[in-house]
Amino acid sequence: MTTVTLDALDLSALLCSRVCHDVISPVGAIVNGLEVLEDEDSAEMRDFALDLIRKSARQASARLQFARIAFGAAGSAGASIDLADAENVARGMFGDEKTQLTWSAPRALFPKNKVKLLLNLVVIAVTAIPRGGVIDVAVTGEGDAPLFVLTAKGAYARIPPHVEALIAGTPESGTVDAHAIQPFYAGLVARAAEMGVRFSIQGDTVTIRAEAAADAAEPDVQPDPDGDDNAI
């Protein structure tokens, strides 16, 4: 397959579209709540509007803080990001009634691109369980050679369509749009971090494993004959 490359303008435009898509819903809800406050005299409706504004403002803030690290130049003054900050933004973004997030990682500074990859893999793990469930994030090893293992368990779990080709930079369509930019970008970050990504599925559990590219090239387990195990 042909590897797809994007110039800087196209990449930045598509990432901006992705971030705007994530925040437009809560920002729109804030606007709706303000309109209700302006037009309604009912105390009940005004309380409803204030509650909507509070919840939507928290959601918009959480999504922007997540995007700042996962897609942006957070901590650009240095080359490392605290894993505790990554946990906080991941919980703010995805910790809700639909999805339960568990996190096991050392409290340490890790290279920026490795942390960005971890957060992008969390996004992919969420899409692997469209009806919600439990996502477990485990980080082991040192910052220069970590191992990330994310397991997503829930009803109708599946490896998201086309995600493996997009991470590899070889989408079947030969193009990348705003919908596909996140896994494509995850692949760019993985290569920059010199890490390989592997997906597998067994029953209602999808596992995403990321480690040093040389280690990922040679799996240490046999593929499950009832599942799917592929390296990127």
Q: Which residues contact 141 (CB under 8 A, 6 or more apart)?
A: 147
- 128 in a structural domain: yes
Q: Per-residue confidence at 213, pLDDT binned at 50, 70, 90?
A: confident
Is a pLDDT exceeding 60 seen at residue 130? yes
Tell me what the mean pLDDT of segment 174-202 comes to.
Answer: 95
Instruction: Tell me the pLDDT of the chain averaged across its residues.
Output: 90
- 63 in a structural domain: yes
- 2 in a structural domain: no
Q: Which tens digits make up the pLDDT trace of 166-180?
A: 999 999 889 999 999
- 75 in a structural domain: yes
Backbone dihedral angles phi then psi of residue 198, each to the nearest 5 degrees: -125, 140
- 3 in a structural domain: no
- 203 in a structural domain: yes
* Predicted local confidence at residue 198, as pLDDT: 96
Chain centre to alpha carbon of residue 160: 13
* Predicted local confidence at residue 39, as pLDDT: 87
CATH of the domain at 159: 3.30.565.10
Three-state secondary-structure class, residue 225:
coil
- 1 in a structural domain: no
Q: Per-residue confidence at 225, pLDDT binned at 50, 70, 90?
A: very low
Task: State pTM to two decimals.
Answer: 0.88
Tell me what the mean pLDDT of segment 184-192 comes to.
Answer: 96
Q: Which tens digits make up the pLDDT trace of 148-162?
A: 999 999 999 999 999
**And the tokens for 197?**
């990504």
Nearest to 21 by CA among 55, 51, 64, 52: 64
Q: Per-residue confidence at 17, pLDDT binned at 50, 70, 90?
A: very high
* Predicted local confidence at residue 110, as pLDDT: 95
* Predicted local confidence at residue 186, as pLDDT: 97
Q: Per-residue confidence at 49, pLDDT binned at 50, 70, 90?
A: very high
Q: Among 9-13, 41-45, 118-122, 127-131, where is mean pLDDT lowest?
A: 41-45
Number of compact structural domains in the chain: 1
Backbone dihedral angles phi then psi of residue 219, each to the nearest 5 degrees: -60, 145
- 168 in a structural domain: yes
Tell me what the mean pLDDT of segment 89-112 comes to.
Answer: 91
Tell me what the mean pLDDT of segment 212-229 comes to.
Answer: 56
Please state, in angstroms and rounded to a whole number, the distance separating the CA atoms of residues 83 and 87. 6
Look up the domain containing 86 and give its range: 8-231
Residue pair 170/2 in contact (Cβ under 8 Å)? The answer is yes
Q: Per-residue confidence at 223, pLDDT binned at 50, 70, 90?
A: very low
* Predicted local confidence at residue 78, as pLDDT: 62
* Predicted local confidence at residue 84, as pLDDT: 95
CB atoms within 10 A of CB 162: 15
